[in-house]
Amino acid sequence: MTVEVALSVLDSSRAGQLLLCDEDGRCTGTVSRAELSAARGSARYTDRTQLRDIVHSSGPSLSL
């Protein structure tokens, strides 16, 4: 998912954060609107920047 899509999801859901999961359904972390906005303001940002490129934390191991 791109940063732009994530911001759109946050806007439409009125949520404060997104829970990020890998292809196996395990939680890999969260991302907030503030983190997404900071990434969008970065000099390295493009409209193709993916969440995996900006989220560096490993969250709890949780299957959904």
Domain annotation covers residue 59: no
Asked if residue 27 belongs to a domain, the reply is yes
Tell me whether residue 29 is in a domain.
yes
pLDDT band at 62 (very low <50, low <70, confident <90, very high): very low
Give the pLDDT confidence score for residue 63 in this predicted structure: 46
For 59, residues 6+ apart whose C-beta sits below 8 A from its C-beta are 20, 27, 28, 29, 30
pLDDT higher than 60, residue 57: no
Residue 64 placed within a domain: no
Query: Is 46 inside any structural domain?
Result: yes
Mean pLDDT value across the chain:
84
How many domains does the chain fold into? 1
Q: Which domain holds residue 30?
A: 3-53
Q: Identify the three-state secondary structure at position 6.
A: helix
Is residue 62 situated within a structural domain? no
> For the purposes of burial, counting CB atoms within 10 Å of the CB of 62, is it exposed (0-12), middle (13-18) or buried (19 or more)?
exposed
